[in-house]
């Protein structure tokens, strides 16, 4: 309750850290207007009471883990928190981009040579469209992913949430894996708009979408059980650059890290064919242009490459609706210094907190 009637109030996130935690080489930032210079990082935590969008840029290969917790829980066996990003291959893509609908995210970097530099950028608010330029994940609002399976509750989190990954000139093989704790009526909907395929997942799945350039993930929460949650990881690879041939056009191949790239010269879009292997019925929409679809999306008869689909596929991609309930112009005045929600344009390097441990994940709602 508001003990100061007449004053503005806002949701607040408090992170309680044990006095005995080892905090060497750690950094803590507020997500508001974060823009850090490249730095050799070890453990870094970013906080916000509001949903935020984060991007990291690393100039070399390294091992990396990330959780939606503080740095005190990232390797704590008692908390048993799920990694939202796992990159154990030194040669794989190291950049990350994600919409974070949780109060904390921590990155652990294992740079054995102390030569790899990483920069961080973040802003309060949800970017509803991302590209495929980095490893990503999408989780239900308030997802923590620790052993007690509790979620962080906030009036700033929307009941329906979605994100779209899209590129106008590139396509990718995109590996998608999920951890789900949802009922049959509140599954996670994944739509490949390039291949006109829609899946609704209610249990853990893994699947690779072949050469897609537009992938949407959406979910509506169960108001009767607010602890239902999900995590979907998104890993792009095999980048394919498409060029159009004109009267004086030239083409070339863009190669190199972090993704394997090839170039295809094409006058018309590729046509992909999907071979069904389950009991579903394919509904291929006629080529129409619908002004009400987001980003002036043009649905075309898809082109054909043989793909085995997981069970639970429903090919109904013609009615594409994106719900955007974000309120990016929301301004909160924070009643106390322990809130993570910044109200100015600075980037803070927050000192360590030394207070009593609140239990798994270090969260107090």
- Can you tell me the mean pLDDT for 243-257? 46
Alpha carbon distances (Å) from 2 to 8, 10, 23, 297: 9, 10, 34, 46
**Residue, of 280 and 243, whose pLDDT is higher:** 243
Distance CA 305, CA 291 (A): 28
The confidence band for 179, taking pLDDT boundaries of 50, 70 and 90, is: very high
Question: Taking a C-beta distance cutoff of 8 angstroms, is the pair 115, 79 a contact?
Answer: no
| Three-state helix/strand/coil letters over the chain | CCCCCCCCCCCCCEECCCCCCCCCCEEEEECCCEECCCECCCEEEEECCCCEEEEEEECCCCEEEEECCCHHHCCCCCCCCCEEEEECCCCCCCCEEEEECCCEEEEEEECCCCCCCEEEEEEECCCCEECCCCEEEEECCCCCCCCCCCCCCCCCCCCEEEEEEECCCEEEEEEEEEEEECCCCCCEEEEECCCCEEEEECCCCEEEEEEECEEEEEEECCCCCCCCEEEEEEEEEEEEEEEECCCCCCCCCCCCCCCCEEEEEECCCCCCCCCCCCCCCECCCCCEECCCCHHHCEECCCCCCCCCCCCCECECCCCCCCCCCCCCCCCCCCCCCCCCCCCCCCCCECCCCCCCCCCHHHEEC
Give the residue, 229 or 3, on which the prediction is more confident. 229
Residue 324 has pLDDT above 80, yes or no: no
**Matching residue, tokens 């109904």:** 316
More confident residue, 261 or 96: 96
Whole-model pTM: value is 0.66
Whole-Å CA distances, 274 to 93, 137, 174, 210, 281: 29, 26, 16, 11, 12
Instruction: Write down the mean pLDDT value for the chain.
Output: 74
Reported as a single tens digit per residue, the pLDDT across 146-169 is 988 789 999 999 999 999 999 999
For residue 76, the model assigns a pLDDT of: 75
pLDDT at 6 over 90: no
Residue 119 pLDDT > 70, yes or no? Answer: yes
pLDDT computed for residue 244 by the predictor: 59
Token duo for residue 270: 């590729």
The angle at the Cα of 324, spanning 319 to 327, to the nearest 5 degrees, equals 170
| Domain-wise residue ranges, the chain | 14-345
pLDDT score of 90: 63
Please say whether the dihedral angle defined by the alpha carbons of residues 192, 198, 204 and 209, taken in this order, is positive or negative. negative
Nearest 5°: phi and psi at 112? -65, -25
């Amino acid at each position: 309750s508001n003990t100061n009637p007449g004053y503005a109030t806002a949701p607040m996130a408090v992170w309680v850290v044990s006095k005995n935690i080892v905090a060497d080489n750690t950094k803590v930032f507020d997500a508001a207007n974060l823009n850090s210079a490249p730095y050799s990082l070890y453990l870094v935590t970013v906080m916000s009471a509001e949903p935020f969008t984060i991007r990291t840029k690393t100039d070399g290969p390294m091992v990396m883990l990330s959780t939606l917790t503080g740095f005190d829980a990232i390797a704590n066996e008692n908390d048993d928190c799920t990694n939202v990003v796992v990159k154990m291959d030194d040669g794989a893509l190291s950049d990350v981009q994600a919409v974070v609908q949780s109060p904390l995210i921590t990155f652990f970097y294992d740079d054995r040579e102390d030569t790899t530099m990483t920069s961080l950028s973040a802003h309060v608010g949800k970017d509803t469209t991302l590209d495929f330029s980095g490893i990503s994940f999408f989780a239900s609002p308030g997802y923590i992913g620790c052993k007690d399976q509790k979620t962080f509750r906030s009036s700033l989190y929307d009941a329906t949430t979605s994100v779209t990954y899209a590129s106008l000139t590139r396509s990718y093989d995109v590996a998608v894996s999920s951890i789900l704790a949802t009922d049959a009526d509140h599954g996670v909907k994944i739509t490949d708009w390039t291949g006109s395929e829609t899946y609704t997942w209610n249990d853990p799945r893994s699947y690779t979408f072949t050469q897609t350039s537009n992938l949407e993930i959406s979910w509506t929460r169960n108001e009767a059980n607010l602890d239902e949650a999900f995590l979907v990881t998104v890993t792009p690879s095999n980048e394919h650059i498409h060029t159009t041939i004109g009267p004086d056009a030239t083409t070339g191949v863009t190669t190199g890290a972090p993704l394997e790239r090839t170039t295809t010269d094409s006058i018309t879009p590729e046509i992909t064919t999907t071979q069904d292997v389950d009991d579903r019925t394919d509904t291929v929409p006629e080529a129409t242009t619908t002004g009400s679809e987001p980003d002036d999306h043009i649905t075309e008869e898809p082109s054909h490459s043989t793909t085995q689909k997981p069970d639970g596929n429903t090919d109904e991609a013609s009615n594409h609706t994106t719900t955007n309930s974000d309120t990016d112009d929301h301004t909160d005045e924070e009643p106390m210094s322990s809130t993570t929600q910044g109200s100015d344009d600075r980037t803070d390097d927050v000192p360590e907190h030394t207070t009593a441990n609140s239990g798994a994940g270090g969260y107090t709602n």
